[in-house]
Structures are given as C-alpha cells and as structure tokens.
A and B are shown apart, each in its own frame.
Chain A
C-alpha cells in the first residue's frame, strides 16, 4: 500500500509532529501515538468500524489545536506595489553608492604586471624558455627591466601568475595526502593511493607526494631597484606571511617532533621534478619542510586555470619613503618552471591592496550596474503599475 519509503517518511513526520506540537500545544506524545496507529491502519488496509452502539468508546474527535486544524497563526506576505517597488528602490539606492565606493577604491590600487614566459623572440626569457629541461643542473636566469611610473606607497605584494594551468583538474586536486602533509609519520612512509603515480619513486615514498607537490612552482624571482645613480639595490622580499594561518599552523606540519628535518624525512625521496628535497626548501627551520610557505601557497589549489599566487611581500619600511619609489626596476628570474609545453603563461604582479583586497574593478562596476538596473526596474514597474496595473484589487475588496 505504501512504498517502502513510507517508513522514512513516518520518521520525518514524527519529527515534524514533534517539533510542531512542541511549538503549539506540547501534546506531542498523543500526536505521535496517533501517527503510529495511523500507519498500522494504512498498512493493513483494514479499519475497525465502531458502531454507534459502542458507548464506551472514547470520542475519536480530532483535537482542536491550531496545528491540527491548520489554523496556525501565520504571516501572509503578498507582493503588492507597496512592498515590491520600495524594495527595488532601496536595492538600487544601496547598491549604487557601494558600487561607486568599490570602484574608486579599486582604482586607487596600483598594480603592475609583466609576462615573462618568453614566447616572443624579443623577450628576455626567450632563451631560457626554449632550452629547458627538468634535469639541467645549471639554472637559466633572465633579467626583465621595467619602469614604475608612480610610487607604491604601502606594502607591495609580489604575485606570480600562471595561465592555462589546470590546478582545478579533478585528478590534480585529489592528488595529495593531507595526512602526510600534516606530519603523520605513517603517511609519510606510505603515502595515500591518491598520490599515484607520484607516491613512490624507486621504492621510496615521495615526500611530499602527489601531482600538486610534484608540479610546484620553482622559479625564483628577485627584484632590484635601479637607482638613478646606476646601482642596483636589491629589494628585500619577505618570504613569510604569505600563507593562510590555518594552513601554516593547522593543516601542514612536519613529521614527528624531530627538529632535525633531515632525519625526520629519512627514508623518503624528493618529488621527481624537485631539485632539492623538501627539508632543504629554506634555511629557516620555521619555514622549512612541509611548513614552507611557498610550498603551502602552492598546495592551496586555484579554482580557475588562470590564477595568481602570493610570492613575496615587500614591507613598507617607513612612512616617509614609498615602498617602491618611481623608477626603473629589474626583475631577475631563475627560469626553472616550464609552461610552454602546455601553452601556459607566467607573470609577475606587483600590487598594493586596500581594505577590500587587490584591484578588482569588476565588483564596483557590477554593483553600479545592478543598482541602476534595480532602480530603473523600480521606475518601470511604477509606471506599469500606474498605467495598467490592476488596482481594482482594492476596489473589489472595499465592498
């Protein structure tokens, strides 16, 4: 009579009944009893007829509760001109100023971007990009000069950007072992199957395992300010503070309590594409191994095939001097990371940020657009309502 799901339903209903009965009259015990007896009847396809003769029978009159009689007090909203039109105007009036604010903020942010993939013959990195091999021992370096036409006042954030790089591919995304990265010793020595085919190399477990780690971005970027005097002043780049706090302190951790990372990673091997093992990523023990921030940043996969990741931070030194004054700069790239094989692009971005983050003109424009559309719609609807709207409604009722 009922489908096999009946039971699931009755559970649901009991739950509902319970909730509502609690909300209404607190007689939920009776309600549930009714529910179960009802089910039995329904299942059996049989009813007992109680003739009028059964004087001793208790009355089967349903309880007169607001819930059971479907008379719960309720708010019944209606879309009337009085509520809808103001809503449109309010949305419009709210969104337009926000949009303008966002747009102005975004425009005040300074951003500089340079593509150093080396596709063009003229590009300084052309050579490096041409003769690349993962195994080459001698790194290829290229130097990219650029000019900033306005000073960057506050902290400057250095990003590297990759295009056409599918960090969001399903097979890529899952190819990691979070428990290994969290410092679990067992996982360190026997990485999860998800890491295949980057789990073992020459019968040694790879640490860190998986395709994500294996393809870690390993170009080195250095920035020099070309003083008008002709000297190249290296700009100090801060390597920490670029990862999420939770990643650095919760999600990632070096194996064991062993302060000696070399010993901790004993018995593992480095990922195939890496030049150095994971415990040699940085000299600073607080930024080495799995908790190396460059590594952590890379491991936080991007949502879209074109993305940028934070590389370094140039901290503002004093309030008097701009972090990056106007002038000529040189970017020195140790070109390790091949992208041409899959038509990828590499970029470097220098950017300041505001309260709402980096440069993002779209948000402001979108807000202004949506706000204006709402406002416009409000006007149109108002006109429509007045010209041909059915205002008889109120006329009908007044009788």
Chain B
C-alpha cells in the first residue's frame, strides 16, 4: 500500500484543468473523427485493423502551447478577457491623432504589464506541463507484440495492444482485463488518483479469457471488442466481446482505468480499449464550473452601469462640443483651425465623444480587476497561514483552493453539511451496555473523581490497548463468569462479518466494514472473547483464554429492511445456536414471550442510551435443535436457489428462524463527534446561518447526531418529521408543519410581547433585545425584524416564524418534495426551520437540495463534506468546503476550501469570511470613490476648455495615479483591515449579519460612493479654478496657467484621497503607514523627477511640465488652495460618519468602541454583555427533558452481501491489505449499495413504521419554567453573575447562550475570584468530558470574566494554559 511519495506529483498534468479544445491542437484531424465516433471497435493484437479507425494514441498532451504557437495563442486567450479587449480598444482609439486625448502609453503601460506577466506565468506553467507530459509519455510498459513482451514507451501503446501490468504499477490506458495471476481472473486496484476513493476495488476478467493465462495464448487472442465511445463516466462501461463466435457482455467490472494502481496482484494482462486523451481519466479532467461571488456579479453590473454612465458623460460632452464648435469654435478658427478631416461641428462632436471615452475610462481602470485579485489572493494566504485552522494531528493546514471566493465566505446563510466524517469522526466507541437488565458503563458523576480507565492487559493479553471503558463492574461480572455476560460477549465475538489479521501472535487487527461493528468486536475482545480468525466455515475465538472453534453454519446477512443480522454456529460441543443483533424495533418484536420483563427494562435502557445520542443495538440468541436446523437449512437452500424473487424468499426464510429469541441485552455505541462540533454549530446558528445536514445515514442516526451536536435541542419548539412515501402524504405533512409553525409562533409572539413590557432591558445590543424575555425555552434568534415588539406582517407569515423548529425529512419524501410543484412549499417550510436534517439522501439529491435553495433564496450557500458522495453538493454550492484526511481526496479536489476539522468552519466564516467581505466592500467603495473623484474633474473642465477633451492633469499623472499613487494604500486596507479583532467576531456572531444582508456594499452604498466621488471632483475642480484664476505668484506672474492648475489639482487630489483612505482605514498596521505615507512621498518624488530639468533635457518633447512642480509648490497660495479643498472634501464626510457612529452605531462600532475603552483601561475587566458563550442549562435537566422523547438509533451501517462473500470464501484471498480501507470507507460505498438496491428494488418499501416509529409525529416538548437556566439558547437577563458561575461549575454545561445579557459590571474582586475558581472548573471538566467541551468551558469563562484568551490553546486546555493566558493579559 505504500505509494512512492513522488508518484502523485507525476500525475499533476493529468488532473490538470484544461480545455478540451486545447488538446485537439495536435491531433485535430482525429478529434473531428472522434466526434462522430458512435461505437468503438477494437480487435486484439491487430494493429492494422485498429489503425483504420484512427483512434487517439496513448500520448497525452496537457500543455497548451509550443514555441511557435505560444505568442499568438496566449495573446488570443488573454484578449478573450473582456477587460483586456476593452483596454486594447482604448489603445487603438488613442492611436488616432484626431481622437487621442491621452498619450498612448497611459493605456499601454498597464496593459502591457498585465499581459506580459500573465504570459510569463503561462509560459512557465506550460513548460512544467511539457516536462511532466514527457515524463508520463516516456514511462515504460510491457506490450505483447508478436507473442513476446517488449518494453514500449507509454506514448507508443496503441489501442488494441495487450499490455502486461505488474504489481504497484500505474495502469497505462483504459484496459479490458484479460487475465490475472490471481484465481478467478480477479485483480485488485486502487483508484485514489481517479476518484479519490482509497479503498481497494476488485476487478474480474471474463471467465473464458482468464483461462488463457499466459502470454503465448494471449498473443493469439483475436477477440474483438465493440463498445461505447469515449466518455467520462467512471463507473460505467458497456461493451461486448466477440470471440470464437460467442458474445460476452463487458461491464465496468472488467475494466482497469488509467490512473489506477494495481495492488496485491502479481501481474495481469489487459487489452487497450481507450488510450491517451480518450481515457476516462483524461475525459474527466478539468473543472466544470467557474464560481463567481455575488460581489463579483454586483461588480460586473456596476461596471456595466459605469460604462453606461461613461457613455452618457461622453454624449453630454459631445453635444457640448457640437454646440461649442458651432458657436465659438468656428469663429475661433483664425487662431485654431479644425483638424484636416473635420469639416463641421458634428464630426468634431463625434470625435470628441471618443476622446472623452478615452479620458473618462479611468472610472473603471484595469487596476480594479488586478487589485481585486490581489486582495483575494492575500486573503487566501491568510487562510492558508492561519495556525488556528491547522490540524496538528493530521498535519494539514487549511487551504484556500480557490482564490476568488473569499468575500463570499462573509455572506453565507445556508450551510449544507455531510454527517459522517464531517460532523462525526467516524470513530465508534463502545460506551455502554445493558446485560440481562443491568446497565454498565453508566456516565460518571462529573464532579466525582475521574474514573480510572480499565486496564485489560493483566486479565487478557490479547486486549486492544486503545480500548477505553471505565466501568469496572462489567469486568468483574465477566471475571465471575456471569453466564449472561459471557453469552453477551460471545455473541459479539461471533455475530459479525469482521475479518481479522494476526501479523504476529497476539497482535490482532480487525478489518470491519463498518466502524460500529469493529467497536463491538473489539469490546468483546477486551472482555475476554477474542475473535481470532475465520474461514468460510469456521470462526475461531479465544474465550477467556481458551481457544474455541465454532462451525459457522449460516450468516443471515444484514440488510436495511431486516435491520438485523444473525449467525448460526455450532459450538465444539455440537450445540447449534443462533445469535442475532439488530435494531431494537425489529428485534424486540421477535423475542420469546417470556422475555417481557427483561424487555421492559432493556427497552428503558435503550431509551436512555438513545437519549444520550448513542447508537444502540439489541442482542438476542436462540438455541436451535438439530432438527430445527436441518429443517430450516433445507428451506434456506431452497430459497437460495430460487430463480425468481430470491431476495424475498431468503428474507422470508431468515424471518422464519429469527423467532422466539432470548434477549441478552443491548449495546450503546458512541458515534464520536469531531472536536468542537456542537460549539461550532451553536456559534454558526447564532450568526444566523442555517445549517442543514444532508446525510446518507438512517433517520434515527441522523436525528441522534442532530441532538448530540446540538442542532436539535430538547428546547426546540417542535421537530417535524416528514417521512411520507407518496406525493400526497408529503404535501400533507409539509402543510401540517407549516400550520403548526404559524400557530405556535402566534401564541409565542403574544407571550413575547407581554414579556417585553416587563423585562425589556436597556441594552445596546440588538440580539439582547431579540432574545429577551421569552417565556418558552427557545429564542427568537432568527427573528429578522430589528424591533422585536413590532408584530410580523401577516402577508409573509412564513418569513416571520418565531420559535425554533426543526425539520427532518428522509430521502423518499425529499424526492417528492424536490419535484417542481412542491419545491416552493418545501423551501418555505424548511427555511422557516432553524435546523433541517435530510437523511438517506443520495449524492444527487444533496446537489438538488443545494440548487433548490440557490434557486429560491437569494442566499449564499456553503456545502461541506468529506467524501466522494459530497462532491456534487460541493460543486453546486456557492462555496464548497472539503474536509481533508478522512475519506480520500475527492471532496477536497472538488472543493474551494479545505481543512481537516469541521470546527474550523466557524473561523473560516466568522473571522476570515467576515473580514474578507468587509475588506472587499471597503476596498470597492473607496476604489470607486477615488476614481470618480479623479476622473470627473475632466468632465467639469470640459465646460471650460471648449469640450475639447483636454485633460486636467499631466498625462504621467493619469498613467500613474491608479497604479502607483493610490494603489498601495487601498490594497493595504483591502488586505489588512480589521474592524474588530478576531476573538470578538467569534464572540459576537451577530457581527456576521451585515454580510448576509449585504449591507456593506450594495447599489445604495455604491451610489453614495459615486456621489461622494463626484462631490470631491467638483471641489477639486472649482476651488482651484476660483482661486487660481486671479492669483499670482509673489513675482507677479499669474498662476492661472494650465500647468500650475494641473499640478495644484493633482496634488489636491492625491492629498484628498490619501486623507480619505486614512479615514477609511480602521486598522493601521506598519504596512498601512508605510503605504499611505509612502504613496504620498512617492507622488511628490515622482512629480519632482518628471518635472526635473534632467529629464527635460533628454526628451524635451515628452516632459512639458519642466519646472512646474518646483515653482508651483513654492507658492503659499497653492498650499492654501490645497488645504481649503481638502477641508471642504473631508469635513462633510467626517461629520456624516461621526453622526452615523454616534446616533446609529452598528454592532461592530460598539464592539470597537468597547475594545478601545478596554485598551485604555488596560486591565482585564469582565465583559459579559453580549458574551455569546454563556453556559446555562444543566445536564440533568437536559436529560430529563430528553427522557420523554424516544430517539433510538441502531448501530448498523454496513454493506450487505458481505456475509455471502465470507461464506463463499471468495474474499479469503483478499488479504488484509485489501480490506484495510473498509473501515474508513464504509459510508460512501454503503450509500452506493443502497442506491443500487433502490434501483433494483424500486418497489421494496422500507418498513416505514420501523423507521419513523421512534418519533412518529414530533418530539414532545417540555417547557421548562421561565426562571431557571435550562433554556439552552438564550440567557435570562437578570441572572446575577455568581449564579451563572455556579451553574458553570456544578453542571456540565454544554450549551451556549444565544443572546448577550446584561450582567452587572464585574468588579475587580469578582473577576479575581473568578480567576481563582476557574482552574478548578477546568479540572472538574477536563477529565470526563470529551476533549471538545473544554473549549466551551474556556470560552465560557472568557465570556464571563472577560479574559482575553485566545482560543489557540483549545487543544491543550487545563490549568497551566489558562494560567499562562491570564498572565498574558496582565
């Protein structure tokens, strides 16, 4: 399994995104043929025959250019960009002397710079592509030519050749597997490079050919394959093999695709079907979609508007020119005749229009696009560099794989998340069990001493050292030899489909196809019932140190309808026993009636486990007599051989024997959540982001995870479950849910208003008001109306649902809900809910759901997932996030951002996304402002210069203004600006809201910027105009000459925009200072240089302004003008901004202000207002609330049909290596099976009653009393801080406060006290709570006591780090 490290790199070029048409450059003739190829005929070992079809050779070309074509092709590509073409057009305009109002270099300098640098980069990239192409093309492969194996380069392999592959070799082309060194013509491949799935796959050759075996026979093989033309479907192949007058059907099972690696197979032979560019790998390369952000789209619209504006200005000025030329210009001809081709004023006006288009084009300069990209790239780097998004366990930093979407991260409203591997770690741990009515592994008292982890080694040398269990009573029970306990673990050690591998004596490795099964077998192993090995007919275990071999009589395999699996074994004593494990719902029905009492107790335990979010299984056994077995085995054989309805008959046979079982007990497995998932979800939902979980899992599992990651809480007003199987029932259920929501929200609103009057607190924070004074458990966080007392307008009831609702919908219902006539209904219902869980969805449905939201809500969607089944969703969402390191790399490859922990999502969105959005908005506002201020001066000047398109400024100033004088400060702002520090944006998730509502840059903001720019341009033109027209130097020389005016205006402009950027910059780092001051300095330096005598003496015709700067800037009047104009430009802005902050402060302003005041005080003052993290609620009460609701999940997530594989013995050669990846891969393959199942048995109704029975209509809601702290999301405003702390200490707080509440100012003693108390609190929790909780705790403390702790230390919580951080603050 060890892949040479460098091999993936060599595949770079193949996975490259490339345009298909580029490839056709070389073999253009073939490509035209290819298009018409309807089927492919390949005859083995017959090159002549195959050459007739001119199939593509195996030579791949991913490079775009060669030396000759580089320049034209590259330029052609670059000019496909609208912006580049536009600037080229301007350049051409400027070359016409009658039009040219600017020197050609004002456009060509930036354009040439952009083009040439892009070209250089393209050239380097292409060079490396050439190199790697060569490397790949020159790989050696063994081709069977005329009966002997010869080494050939890959590029020389032809379609129809038979090639030999050896172990660990890459497959050179798409091959039809002919024969293999393994029995049955099997061979194993790894397809990670192809589809990212890292598990081994089995391929089998057509049996008749596999018999051919050796090269000599193959050399004479002359079969002909007729198959489909090249396509990009990785999982499909259909063709027919004609050989010796017989037809054989070929499927994907017979194919080895290029990009795969041969594993565990000594050698195999394959017939080349598709080569080079026709291979599925190459057909799949290239990204399908190019994503654009909403800001991008807005920007494009605005740029279009600006062009419209530009044309308007041009027309106005052209009309002006016509009038002027007619009234004045024609009379002025004695001094200034028209240019030769101009013979009337209309023509002159026409030319003037184009002249003005050139001059005014700087409203949208090329630097806008460049700067936007630079800023985005900068933000991407910050994401890549973020240590707090680095996962040290997997050594993976976060990666922004797309650099163009950053600001959209600040606008996300919907998150679609996968479950397995994303929310959960996909690690199962055996947590609790109930044996014969006694429960073990009961949760320990959080306040008590931390229980010791059981040490199994003295008792059992074969124990797995990684297994954790804390309840020693169970071990005692095993030791004393309790029969039930023994039976319980015996069952676990026998009833499964796990494979074992024992590399060395005692070192066991289990290869389970589902991790929960692995967890159960491991538990049995540790408690003394060690599963050692199996053969198709036996299972060998070590029971309490004694080796026992059972005869395996039958495996009654799991399937999703049966929800149970059984084994029938004969023990060494000859007794036959059936062991069964399965979902409680199905198993408890099949028990012997004498189990009634035990069943009740166990079922109580099951509910308890389920309420804790554990996955449960019930275990039972049945002793069979020899006769029973014989009878059943006969009927089973019958069913097995049945030609029709085999499955149904088998199921009936299984049903027959799985009766009258004796209950043994139940197991509870914890599906471990990833670190920090509940906290992240809590924070994200506080930020008004709606989280939808789309999972292939079963409803129970999904709901359980929903509860354990706090998406669903017991305080939710109602959880709706849609599980209808028909269109009608789904529609009804949706309708009912909506009615109920409206009803409930009406009553709640009534309550709320009453509450408002009494409990309204004077509080600066909006969310405090929103979440204030509600009677029930839930909070109105999603209430969109800013003033909570305003009753929602009745018209859009669904938009104003208050209260927390959740919707659970399963795959069948979803299929109906996604149909065209119901989708609006579904969207309106689902979007009113705070949490939506879609279970048992197919990958396609995941994408459909995302598309649905994109279509109906103008909201930004984000999809996060880790597996191949999430790819479609990741690709269709606005932003796709891949969790790396769990299930191969396919999700990551398709994603825009990748990191390895779900919890990093909050940082990505709330910190990076928010900042990116803020920066981009500020950047755009300022950018449009500065360019309008700059350009519109020409418009005003037009009225004074006869509309002749004379520029106000020196042409060098125009060239350099955007790329030198003003670019760096605004870039620095766009890259480094921060309004509030990162901790604050995590603390006040509400800060995220402006992005979702798109408040910072929209059309309105744009017009404000434009208006400000135009105002500035008016001031910039008319103030110098009015002053200088009469002013003279102190030598009497008038200052009203053009050059002085130009210098004065330009200087004023640079100073005004610099002051403006200084006002806009909220975060002055060294870089900002350097850039702002540097730009100003640079302006003066360059101006003095350009106006110097030296340059003039070299190029007297280019530098007309010689001496202007020196003389102009020595005049006091000029400086007085500059000061005056600056004051007039800036004072209104300053006043307006001040009023805005003073009268209507945004949350960010307030937080900023808070920050400032705190900095001034320079001491750790407590800050609980708005602290989002306030642990309220108690575990005990949470459980109480949950007891009423029965949520059970059963731990069975594996693929069916595995039992068959075991009993048939087919996979026994499949060594442990081959199985190594099943553990991590189970989920997607399981879904595949499910899908396949569904397709083949479209009519098999999954037992609806069984699935939805745990929660038929809704989860019963317990409404806790108002006063206590069990309201999970939302704080009661008047709880004194001491009480809160008490709650934090006493109870295992795992919840977060939704709304900031006002607490009395924490006096210094209080915070000191807190500092003393908290380490204890940390210790109290650090032990028993799973790692993640301590983060909460730390943050809770931070919120409570105002510590400026950084969450960096979240991985190592505990007193030392806390102490360290405290000292940091002091």
Residues on A facing B (Cβ under 8 Å): 1-13, 16-17, 19-20, 23-24, 34-35, 38, 40-52, 54, 57, 59-64, 68-70, 72-81, 84, 87-88, 91, 95, 98, 102, 155, 157, 159, 164-173, 175, 177-179, 182, 184, 192-193, 196-197, 211, 214-215, 241-247, 250-251, 300-310, 313, 338, 341-343, 351, 353-360, 362-363, 366-367, 370, 373-374, 377, 381, 384-385, 388-390, 392-399
Q: Which residues of B contact A351 (CB under 8 A)?
A: 1032, 1036
Q: 10 tightest CB-CB pairs across the interface, nearest first? A: A246-B1107, A7-B121, A303-B1045, A68-B385, A170-B948, A157-B1036, A170-B950, A357-B1032, A358-B1032, A215-B335
Among candidates B884, B1068, B1110, residue contacting A75 with C-beta atoms closer than 8 Å: B1068
Instruction: Given A303-B1028, A353-B1034, check contact A16 B893 (CB 8 Å).
Output: no
**In contact, B334 and A338 (Cβ under 8 angstroms):** yes
**In contact, B331 and A343 (Cβ under 8 angstroms):** yes
Instruction: Given A7-B121, A178-B1100, A389-B1142, check contact A342 B328 (CB 8 Å).
Output: yes
Query: Is residue B945 within 8 Å, beta carbon to beta carbon, of the partner chain?
Result: yes
Instruction: Given A45-B17, A370-B1128, A374-B1127, check contact A8 B1142 (CB 8 Å).
Output: no
* CA gap between A373 and B1132 in the complex, in Å: 10
* CA gap between A260 and B1036 in the complex, in Å: 32
A-B contact count (CB 8 A): 441
Query: Is residue B12 within 8 Å, beta carbon to beta carbon, of the partner chain?
Result: yes
Among candidates A23, A87, A399, residue contacting B1168 with C-beta atoms closer than 8 Å: A399
Query: Is residue B332 within 8 Å, beta carbon to beta carbon, of the partner chain?
Result: yes
Among candidates A47, A184, A366, residue contacting B1100 with C-beta atoms closer than 8 Å: A184
**In contact, B1302 and A399 (Cβ under 8 angstroms):** yes
**In contact, B1027 and A35 (Cβ under 8 angstroms):** no
Among candidates A193, A303, A356, residue contacting B1117 with C-beta atoms closer than 8 Å: A356
**In contact, B1107 and A357 (Cβ under 8 angstroms):** no
* CA gap between A281 and B114 in the complex, in Å: 51
**In the complex, per-residue mask of B1079-1095: 1 if CB is within 8 Å of any chain A CB, else 0:** 00000000000000100
Residue of B nearest to A64 (CB): B387
Instruction: Given A12-B370, A43-B125, check contact A159 B1038 (CB 8 Å).
Output: yes
Q: Which residues of A contact B762 (CB under 8 A)?
A: 392
**In contact, A91 and B1038 (Cβ under 8 angstroms):** no
Among candidates B12, B336, B369, B1067, residue contacting A171 with C-beta atoms closer than 8 Å: B336
**In the complex, per-residue mask of B930-972: 1 if CB is within 8 Å of any chain A CB, else 0:** 0000000000000011101110000000000000000000010
Among candidates B120, B889, B1143, residue contacting A384 with C-beta atoms closer than 8 Å: B1143
**In contact, A68 and B382 (Cβ under 8 angstroms):** yes
Instruction: Given A52-B394, A363-B1031, check contact A45 B16 (CB 8 Å).
Output: yes
Residue of A nearest to B1168 (CB): A399
Q: Which residues of B contact A246 (CB under 8 A)?
A: 1093, 1106-1107, 1110-1111
**In the complex, per-residue mask of B1013-1044: 1 if CB is within 8 Å of any chain A CB, else 0:** 00000000001011111111111111111111
Chain B nearest CB, measured from A18 CB (Å): 11
What would be 7 A-B contacts, judged by CB atoms less than 8 Å apart?
A5-B118, A42-B401, A49-B892, A342-B334, A351-B1032, A377-B1131, A398-B1157
Stretch touching chain A among B64-72, B307-315, B649-657, B974-982: B974-982
* Interface-centre pick from B84, B378, B945 (highest chain A CB count, 10 A): B945
Query: Is residue B1096 within 8 Å, beta carbon to beta carbon, of the partner chain?
Result: yes
Stretch touching chain A among B217-225, B443-451, B1147-1155, B1322-1330: B1147-1155
* CA gap between A303 and B1121 in the complex, in Å: 16
* CA gap between A11 and B1116 in the complex, in Å: 41
Instruction: Given A79-B1134, A300-B1041, A357-B1115, check contact A250 B122 (CB 8 Å).
Output: no
**In contact, B1071 and A20 (Cβ under 8 angstroms):** yes
Among candidates A9, A241, A302, residue contacting B1041 with C-beta atoms closer than 8 Å: A302
Query: Is residue B287 within 8 Å, beta carbon to beta carbon, of the partner chain?
Result: yes
**In contact, A393 and B9 (Cβ under 8 angstroms):** no
Instruction: Given A48-B8, A399-B1168, A399-B1304, check contact A98 B1120 (CB 8 Å).
Output: yes
**In contact, A366 and B377 (Cβ under 8 angstroms):** no
Chain B nearest CB, measured from A196 CB (Å): 8
**In contact, A168 and B122 (Cβ under 8 angstroms):** no
Within 8 A of A (CB), among B316-375: 328, 331-332, 334-337, 339-340, 355, 369-370, 373-374
Q: Which residues of B contact A359 (CB under 8 A)?
A: 1030
Instruction: Given A54-B5, A72-B1071, check contact A171 B1106 (CB 8 Å).
Output: no
Q: Which residues of B contact A399 (CB under 8 A)?
A: 1165-1169, 1302-1306
**In the complex, per-residue mask of B712-743: 1 if CB is within 8 Å of any chain A CB, else 0:** 00000000000000000000000000000000
Instruction: Given A70-B976, A357-B1031, A399-B1306, check contact A49 B1101 (CB 8 Å).
Output: no
Q: Which residues of A contact B8 (CB under 8 A)?
A: 46, 48-49
Chain A nearest CB, measured from B1071 CB (Å): 5
Query: Is residue B183 within 8 Å, beta carbon to beta carbon, of the partner chain?
Result: no
* CA gap between A60 and B1134 in the complex, in Å: 46
Query: Is residue B403 within 8 Å, beta carbon to beta carbon, of the partner chain?
Result: yes
Query: Is residue B796 within 8 Å, beta carbon to beta carbon, of the partner chain?
Result: no
Q: Which residues of A contact B1157 (CB under 8 A)?
A: 393-394, 397-398
* CA gap between A52 and B1327 in the complex, in Å: 26
Residue of B nearest to A183 (CB): B1100
**In the complex, per-residue mask of B1054-1078: 1 if CB is within 8 Å of any chain A CB, else 0:** 0000000000001111111010000
**In contact, A74 and B1067 (Cβ under 8 angstroms):** yes
Q: How many residues of B contact A (CB 8 A)?
A: 164
* CA gap between A177 and B1097 in the complex, in Å: 14
**In the complex, per-residue mask of B392-429: 1 if CB is within 8 Å of any chain A CB, else 0:** 11111101011110000000000000000000000000
Among candidates B122, B377, B1035, B1110, residue contacting A13 with C-beta atoms closer than 8 Å: B377
Residue of A nearest to B331 (CB): A342
Q: Which residues of A contact B395 (CB under 8 A)?
A: 50, 52, 57, 59-61
Query: Is residue B1137 within 8 Å, beta carbon to beta carbon, of the partner chain?
Result: yes
* Interface-centre pick from A6, A44, A358, A363 (highest chain B CB count, 10 A): A44
* Interface-centre pick from A102, A343, A398 (highest chain B CB count, 10 A): A398
* CA gap between A389 and B1142 in the complex, in Å: 5
Query: Is residue B1139 within 8 Å, beta carbon to beta carbon, of the partner chain?
Result: yes
**In contact, A179 and B401 (Cβ under 8 angstroms):** no
**In contact, A353 and B889 (Cβ under 8 angstroms):** no
A61-B397, A356-B1116, A399-B1304 known; 17 new pairs, CB 8 Å cut-off, are A38-B381, A41-B399, A45-B287, A46-B15, A61-B395, A69-B386, A76-B1155, A81-B1138, A95-B1127, A165-B335, A178-B1101, A306-B1029, A353-B1032, A360-B1027, A370-B1131, A393-B1157, A394-B1153
Instruction: Given A1-B287, A303-B1040, check contact A13 B1069 (CB 8 Å).
Output: no
**In contact, B1035 and A241 (Cβ under 8 angstroms):** yes
* Interface-centre pick from B118, B889, B1143 (highest chain A CB count, 10 A): B118
**In contact, A3 and B373 (Cβ under 8 angstroms):** yes
**In contact, A381 and B1042 (Cβ under 8 angstroms):** no
**In contact, B1029 and A304 (Cβ under 8 angstroms):** yes
**In contact, A211 and B335 (Cβ under 8 angstroms):** yes
Chain A nearest CB, measured from B1359 CB (Å): 23
**In contact, B1153 and A397 (Cβ under 8 angstroms):** yes
Instruction: Given A23-B1074, A79-B1141, A356-B1117, check contact A44 B12 (CB 8 Å).
Output: yes
**In contact, A78 and B1152 (Cβ under 8 angstroms):** yes
Chain A nearest CB, measured from B339 CB (Å): 7
Instruction: Given A80-B1153, A396-B764, check contact A88 B1131 (CB 8 Å).
Output: yes
Among candidates B120, B122, B1038, residue contacting A307 with C-beta atoms closer than 8 Å: B1038
Chain A nearest CB, measured from B1142 CB (Å): 5
Q: Which residues of B contact A385 (CB under 8 A)?
A: 1142
Q: Which residues of A contact B118 (CB under 8 A)?
A: 4-8
**In contact, B1023 and A366 (Cβ under 8 angstroms):** yes
Among candidates B1038, B1093, B1141, residue contacting A309 with C-beta atoms closer than 8 Å: B1038
Chain A nearest CB, measured from B1087 CB (Å): 14
Q: Which residues of B contact A247 (CB under 8 A)?
A: 1107
Q: Which residues of A contact B58 (CB under 8 A)?
A: none
**In contact, A44 and B1124 (Cβ under 8 angstroms):** no
Query: Is residue B1006 within 8 Å, beta carbon to beta carbon, of the partner chain?
Result: no
Instruction: Given A177-B1101, A304-B1025, A384-B1143, check contact A396 B1154 (CB 8 Å).
Output: yes
